Amino acid sequence: MSINCQYLLQTHAPAWAQATVHPFLEGCKAGTIEPAQFNTWLVQDYLFVKDFTRMAGRLLAAAPDAHMDTLLGGLGALKDELLWFQDKAAERTLDLSQPRQRTCQQYCEFMTSLVTTAYPVQAMAFWAIEYAYNLGWQQPGPMADPYTEFADRWGNPGFSDYVDLLARQADAALETASADVQSQAEAAFLRVADLEQSFWQMAFNAS
């Protein structure tokens, strides 16, 4: 039996819950998150998204023709996202040239390492990263200002539709993959879940 996105979500539900449910997000919903916590997340996530954009470029290079349109659309959105992060940082007078914190560095190194894996592994990891944000920002429900804008960016229906397309592409790639490649994809999914939890915690620990 070949694995797919739904199989991974069901089989590893506890790990995925830790990746997408966190006191940081609950604090945004309640409006109780501290400025230092949120600002740490914003700067480190900007640094993360820069490397995620590079991952998207590598994924596009490995993708079959049928998957190119969806991935090209995602790349265009990432350009807008980086500019948006810069605007949000300027509003808060934040320095985006800060170094990556350890968790962010580990996440970026993991994304870079995927270039040596088969396309189905990369496609699965790419979907998991996008879905973690899609789900994480919408699960708490409506958020207090000024965090509504952030929740809407990743929790909106259009982004959910994009994530669904990524899931279908990952499923299609894994359908004919070898058992070894499927095993690597499952390991990548679990690594994403672990890194997502650690990233929220990194920001939450800021003071």
**CB burial string 39-74: b at 16+ within 10 A, e below:** bbbbbbbbbbbebbeebbeebbebbeeebeeebeeb
Q: What is the pLDDT of residues 99-131, one digit of tens each?
A: 999 999 999 999 999 999 999 999 999 999 999
To the nearest whole percent, how much of the chain has pLDDT over 90?
A: 95
pLDDT tens digits along 50-107? 999 999 999 999 999 999 999 999 999 999 999 999 999 999 999 999 999 999 999 9
**Over pLDDT 70: what percentage of the chain?**
100
Q: Dump pLDDT digits (tens) for 2-57.
A: 899 999 999 999 999 999 999 999 999 999 999 999 999 999 999 999 999 999 99
Please, what are the domains in the chain?
A: 5-204 (1.20.910.10)
**Does pTM surpass 0.95?**
yes
Element (H, E) at 82: helix 68-91
